[in-house]
Amino acid sequence: MSRLIIDLIARATWETTIMVACSGLLAVLGGLPLALLMVAMRRGGLMPCPPAARLLGLVVDILRAIPFIILLVILIPVTRMIVGTSLGTAAAIVPLSLAAIPYFARIAEVSLRAVDPNLVDAVRTMGGTRWMIVRHVLIPEALPGLVAGFTVTLITLTGASAMAGAVGAGGLGDLAIRYGYQRFNTQVMSLVVVVLIVFVAIIQAAGNALSNHLRHD
Amino acid sequence: MDVNVVDVRHVSRRFGGHVALDDVSFSVARGEILGVIGRSGAGKSSLLRCLGALDRPDAGQILIEGQDITTLPQAGLVALRRRIGFVFQHFNLLSSRTVAGNISLPLEIAGVPRADRPQRIAELLALVGLSAHGDKWPSQLSGGQKQRVGIARALANDPALLLCDEATSALDPETTTAILDLLAEINRELGLTIILITHEMDVIRRIATHLVVLDQGRIVENAPTLAIMGAATQSAVTQALLSETQPQVPPALRARLVAEPAPDGWAIIRIQLAGEAAWQPLLSLLGQQYGVEATVLQGGTTEIAGQPFADQIVSVTGYCAEIHDFLTQFDPSLKVLGHVPADH
């Protein structure tokens, strides 16, 4: 195997890692507050406002309904505004994050909703404010589920990042498409697929381990 | 201090057309253990949520230490809730925190400095007998231990009032006794006012000094526990609740009961003795003084509200007016349930 191919794969692995890590981080920063809002505004929630909860849910679902490759193209002007360019790894992080935020928000919402409402009542009876309930009850109690959901999000992002090759973002998926699919270079493609499998397996194993470590029930 | 810790005045709460609480009034003096009992749907939960300021009544006032909580603004409520400790049926411990962490939470909420918390947590763990378990997770504890953590957590901020919501209903009888003993001990040692809400008469009568019986949102009984146990005029609801724990005439004998005394037969009486009188060897005295035979058919002597209390169904041969007068000196509310004619 030539030095060149190894360099190519190493570089692509790094690009995928950057894209997945940055957009994953942004997915949590954007998605978790969204999920908390959706849960809090439900009937019987911390600040009930069911119409707003429904509206927010609708926006989240619309974003999730748009195919990623189309989102990638629609967002080009926005990306250019934020990153300064619409091409490259950094540019791909914008559409990836925007796709991952509503995705993680829905997954996080399920975990947060599963927290026993009696625990919320218990902390209210101690004189806990809404913020204390979020900080001491909702997030810690849902944490194992949130970590598991974050793991799923990272792996979905790994898949989506392959399409980001369309804007020259690079990454492992892009390498597999260009060498394997477009140039019929089976060796490189197979190698990239193996690297991707290992990449995904490591994320999943780490996620499982962390989630189990946090679970005490 | 003679001020009432809790004053509930004409409280009503409706949910749509359903009346959950209807003109409920009672008060709880400092250091008292009040039992609130009723069947499911009697309004216990609504009352509890109002007392804990989780819900506002539609009408009436609830005064906690003289402060009307029904008109308090949100900020005042948050401060007030820290004066009330809650103990829950299903413990409601955070699975994400250790035992010590769970007890620490109310301290954190109340703004107790980090450095002061460990000592307070250790005191509370010792109080509930869990000193060795601070680092365990709630899932590693038994039901009774979890409830001890729940009690320690409720006591963390030195509350003026402890509200127990079916605190023993999820526990087995032995553990129930242990938890009730713990609550009675806390009441004695800390002088803490406790309200126990339950559907189990057996739970409440052991340690509650006062009883409130709720039925369909209304108070049907509100008196010292001993008075209710011995009262001749009980509401049907109270009787039904009491009958679970009180001695009954054995069914085989009940079928043979007649109203009129029969020669050579026995009288079946119900006798209740509270306080020191419960220890009187009454039936032996009866035998010695009147030469009759008296046998306990059902019942015995237990403890109610921390006092001895005898409640017995007794058969007496040759029952007559003198014997009746002799017995009513000890139990004025003595009841002759009927007579059983001789076998042949």
Q: What is the C-alpha separation between B229 and B270, in angstroms, rounded?
A: 12
The residue-averaged pLDDT of A4-25 equals: 92
Domain assignment present for A71? yes
- Estimate the share of chain A in helix, then strand, then coil, as percent rounded to the nearest 5: 85, 0, 15
Query: Chain B closest CA to A56's CA: distance in Å?
Result: 27
Q: What confidence score (pLDDT) does residue B74 get?
A: 78
Interchain contact, A127 vs B52, CB within 8 Å:
no
The residue-averaged pLDDT of B39-53 equals: 87
Q: Which domains does chain B have, with CATH numbers?
A: 4-243 (3.40.50.300), 251-340 (3.30.70.260)
Interchain contact, A140 vs B84, CB within 8 Å:
no
Q: What is the C-alpha separation between B56 and B15, in angstroms, rounded?
A: 12
Q: What confidence score (pLDDT) does residue A175 get?
A: 87
> Considering only CB atoms, which residues of chain A are within 8 Å of chain B?
116, 118-119, 121-129, 132, 136-137, 140-141, 143, 214, 216-217
State which residues form the domain around A104.
19-169
The burial class, CB within 10 Å (0-12 / 13-18 / 19+), for B281 is exposed
Average pLDDT, chain B: 87
Confidence of residue B308 (pLDDT cuts 50, 70, 90): confident
- Token code pair at residue B225: 């526990």
Please report residues of A whose CB lies closer than 8 A to that of B84: 125
Using the predicted structure, report yes or no on whether residue B18 has a pLDDT greater than 90.
no
Q: Say what the pTM is.
A: 0.82
pLDDT tens profile B253-291: 888 888 888 778 888 888 888 888 888 888 888 888 888
Among A118, A127, A140, beta carbon nearest to B96? A140
Domain assignment present for A4? no
Q: What is the C-alpha separation between A111 and A138, in angstroms, rounded?
A: 9
Determine contact, residues B194/B34, Cβ cutoff 8 Å.
yes
Interchain contact, A125 vs B54, CB within 8 Å:
yes
Please report residues of A whose CB lies closer than 8 A to that of B157: 126
> Considering only CB atoms, which residues of chain B are within 8 Å of chain A?
52, 54, 77-82, 84, 86, 88, 90, 92, 94-97, 105-106, 108-110, 137-139, 157
pLDDT tens profile B203-218: 788 889 899 999 989 9
More confident residue, B300 or A10: A10
The most confident of the ranges A67-76, A107-116, B245-254, B315-324 is A107-116
Interchain contact, B80 vs A127, CB within 8 Å:
yes
Confidence of residue B2 (pLDDT cuts 50, 70, 90): low
Domain assignment present for A5? no
Using the predicted structure, report yes or no on whether residue A35 has a pLDDT greater than 90.
yes
Between chain A and chain B, the number of residue pairs with CB atoms below 8 A apart is 62
Q: What confidence score (pLDDT) does residue B1 get?
A: 46
Residue A205 CA neighbour count, 13 Å, CB half: 6
Domain assignment present for A193? no
Interchain contact, B54 vs A217, CB within 8 Å:
no
Determine contact, residues B214/B220, Cβ cutoff 8 Å.
yes
Determine contact, residues B294/B263, Cβ cutoff 8 Å.
no
Interchain contact, B78 vs A129, CB within 8 Å:
yes
* Residue count (chain B): 344
The residue-averaged pLDDT of A177-184 equals: 83
Domain assignment present for A100? yes
Q: What's the sign of the alpha-carbon dihedral B236, B242, B243, B244?
A: positive
Please report residues of A whose CB lies closer than 8 A to that of B52: 125
Any idea what DSSP says for residue B149? Answer: H
pLDDT tens profile B97-120: 999 999 999 999 999 999 999 999
Domain assignment present for A105? yes
Among B96, B109, B138, beta carbon nearest to A127? B109
Which candidate in A112, A126, A141, A210 is best for mutational testing of the B interface (most B CBs within 10 A)? A126
Cross-strand partners of B19:
B14
The residue-averaged pLDDT of B284-300 equals: 85
Interchain contact, A216 vs B95, CB within 8 Å:
yes
The residue-averaged pLDDT of B90-102 equals: 95
Query: Chain B closest CA to A49's CA: distance in Å?
Result: 18
Whichever domain contains A154, its CATH number is 1.10.3720.10
Please report residues of A whose CB lies closer than 8 A to that of B137: 216
Using the predicted structure, report yes or no on whether residue A34 has a pLDDT greater than 80.
yes
More confident residue, B82 or A30: A30
Determine contact, residues B323/B290, Cβ cutoff 8 Å.
yes
Count of domains forming chain A: 1
Domain assignment present for A129? yes
- Look up the ipTM and state it: 0.85
Contacts of B93 (CB under 8 A, 6+ apart): B102, B138, B146, B149, B150, B153
pLDDT tens profile A122-144: 998 898 889 999 999 999 999 99
Domain assignment present for A49? yes
Please report residues of B whose CB lies closer than 8 A to that of A141: 94-96
